[in-house]
Copies of this chain bind each other. A is one copy, B any other.
């Protein structure tokens, strides 16, 4: 997968990285057991600070998406069921984002259309056997 930093985004760099990893997982571009690029390599590739990448990986580890170890770097975990802590915050954020849509005058149909548009990218999971490169340099 390819990482891309938007230098003029309002989102912190570490969150951009975190989000891109999560999206890649959802799309099946990286799968349980796969290794993320090393902190050093990714920092160099993106021309940002080591600490920033480290922070992103720590967050991913803390949220349960990866297992971060000194030896192996970041390994994607196999998550089957979200834990309670995740669900609680997630629901609230979903509620907020849906409220915005309704308050802005969107209908349930509009929203579900966007939902399908987004999730069909996720549904297209690559077959379990295929092991593609994590990072195309």
Chain A residues packing against B (C-beta within 8 Å): 7-8, 10, 12, 19, 22-23, 25-27, 62, 64-65, 67, 69-72, 75, 79-82, 86, 90-91, 93-106, 108, 111, 114-115, 118-119, 122-123
Contacts and interface: CB of A to CB of B under 8 A. Distances in A.
A101 B123 CA distance: 13
Q: Could you tell me the dominant secondary structure of chain A's interface residues?
A: helix
Given A22-B100, A67-B8, A100-B22, A82 B105 contact: yes
26 contacts: A7-B71, A7-B72, A8-B69, A10-B69, A22-B100, A22-B103, A23-B95, A23-B96, A25-B99, A26-B98, A26-B99, A26-B101, A27-B99, A64-B104, A80-B105, A81-B104, A82-B105, A90-B97, A91-B114, A94-B115, A98-B115, A98-B118, A99-B122, A108-B119, A111-B119, A115-B115
Contact of A118 (B70, B71, B94, B122): B94
